[in-house]
Amino acid sequence: MMPLLTTAVALPLLAAVVVGLVPARAARAPRALALVTSALVLGALIATWARFDAGAGMQLVEEATWIPSIDVAWRLGVDGMSLALSLMTAVVFLPAILYGVGRRPLSRAAAALLLLLEGATLAFFLAQDFFLFYVAFDVTLVAMYFLIALWGEEQRRYAALKFFLYTLIGSLPVLIGIIVLFLQAEPNTFDMIRLASEQPLAGAGVGASLTFLAFFVGFAIKTPIVPFHTWLPAAHVQAPTAGSVLLAGVLLKMGTYGLVRVNLQMLPDAFAQYALPIAILGLFSALYGALVALAQSDFKRLVAYTSVNHMGYVVIGVAAAAAPGISASARDLAIDGAVLQMIAHGLVTAALFFAAGFILTRAKTRNLDELSGLMRPMPVYGTLTAVAMFASLGLPGLAQFPAELQIFLGTFDVYPAIAVTALLGLVVTAALFLLALQRAFLGETSDRWAGLRDLGARELGALVPLIALTVILGVYPRLALDLISAGSWL
């Protein structure tokens, strides 16, 4: 059987090296190579899906010796969460590469960095070995640093540095946590599957708590959870369009994925202790993100803060699932919802950041107060963006609705007050998106904007698949929920 997971990770990494060796004369080659590679990656993951047995938990593990003396191995495997997030990653990378960063056609350096980032994020979601997990975590950091610093907007260097710094501050406690788990396992290992089943720190008081908090801080910065979020607006706003798309669409999920994979699966006892405060932090993030987004007039900043809001729901769901006394069915409901929310948010936010990028290249502004009546000159753009906004505010029939619904239902079992309060966030996001639509898309079209041309083929190619998947998942969420099936691996 072909090692599909290894292929999905290794192919982009290999292509990143190959693209550096392409002669400079072949100007179109980097983009073509990157696109073909990421299409093949998506193919490999869809083929994995075909082989996948949703009820069987962790499976299709591919293992190869790497550093046996400390039990590090090339271990890749999938359960519902890993596979769903990997698929979403592969889906979001295609339009990001299609749209590209920097000058056109895509330069060799840009193509190499995008492919490096794709390989590393997939390695992160598929890794079942902590060494590989950490390597992938930090490689995404370096690749994204250069994407922001080289092709970002005016304050790109400041934003890139801030992103590097915060992520490094987050990744090092994770490293310490990994070392503690490694040392506590008997015999010592970096094998995440073993660590999840043996739980070497089960019930161990202060040590387990500190380890839990080390992991939590790292993943909280990545997610980001308020008050660890201050890097996010800078990085998202200053990054090039495709960079914001990948940052919000894919990289933020690394935080919540870690929260489930490590904190929940390997340290459930410690998580039970902290479930309530973390749920409250999640609630605070959701409300704070929504309220701050309400005050934004920059389209990109607005979307960036709604990410804080949406990721807050994920945190609430994960914390509820960890709470002592939650019923098994509510727990599965909450985690299914949290993972679906990660997928939905990945697609929807990617679409919204594209929308923000598209309008900037045309109107030279993203200020929603300046823009008006865009629907008239750009009906296709307006419609697709409106769908993305409706999805983001949680309209039924679009992807985020079933996700948020499940999170609220699951949470209601243990923290009814938090679940109910979180609904307030929905009201605020509904208000802010409707206001944005009204300000920028409806109303009179000023002369300034009358001449804007609608989306071209490349832009449609980037946006339409994301919107289509948002609708499909909204109408038929079981497509993803059957795959995720948290009950089989939690």
Applying CB under 8 A, which part among 180-188, 291-299, 314-322, 367-375 lies near another protein? 180-188
Out of 84, 127, 150, 467, name the contact with another protein by CB under 8 A: 150
Interface with another protein, residue 430, by CB under 8 A: no
Per CB under 8 A, 68 contacts another protein: yes
d(CA 133, CA 8): 15
Instruction: Tell me which of 49, 52, 66, 158 binds another protein, using CB under 8 A.
Output: 66
Check residue 380 for interaction with another protein (CB under 8 A): no
* 179 makes contact with another protein (CB under 8 A): yes
- Per CB under 8 A, 148 contacts another protein: no
Q: Where are the alpha helices (DSSP H) in 295-374?
A: 299-322, 328-363
Which amino acid is it at 398? L
Contact criterion met (CB below 8 Å) for 221 and 228 = yes
Q: How far is the CB of 55 from another protein (least distance, A)?
A: 35
Whether the CB-CB separation of 222 and 280 falls below 8 Å is answered with no
Of 91, 112, 86, the C-alpha closest to 101 is 112
> Does 146 help bind another protein (rule: CB under 8 A)?
yes
Residue among 50, 69, 325, 447 that touches another protein (CB under 8 A): 69
By beta-carbon proximity to another protein, the closer residue of 65 and 361 is 65
CA distance 256 to 423: 20
Beta strand 59-67 pairing with 72-78 = antiparallel
Closest CA to 336 of 84, 93, 137, 113: 84
Using omega within 30 degrees of 0 as the cis cutoff, is the peptide bond preceding 277 cis?
Answer: no
Report the residue number, 167 or 385, with the smaller CB distance to another protein. 167
Does 168 bind another protein (CB under 8 A)? Our answer is yes
Question: Which CB atom, from 135 or from 431, has the smaller least distance to another protein?
Answer: 135
Q: Which of 18, 35, 172, 409 binds another protein (CB under 8 A)?
A: 172
Cβ at position 168, least distance to another protein in Å? 6
Residue with tokens 């979001």: 92
Among all chains, which residue has been given the structure tokens 């400390």? 70
**Residue 62, beta-bridge partner list:** 76
Choose which of 74, 125, 182, 288 interacts with another protein (CB under 8 A). Answer: 182
| Interface pick for another protein out of 27, 35, 52, 138 (rule CB under 8 A) | 138
Label residue 447 exposed, middle or buried (CB < 10 Å: 0-12, 13-18, 19+): exposed
Binding range to another protein, per CB under 8 A, among 64-72, 288-296, 392-400, 465-473: 64-72
Sign of the CA dihedral 417, 420, 426, 428? negative
What are the residues binding another protein (CB under 8 A)?
66-70, 131, 134-135, 138-139, 141-142, 146, 149-150, 157, 161, 164-165, 168-169, 172-173, 175-176, 179-180, 182-183
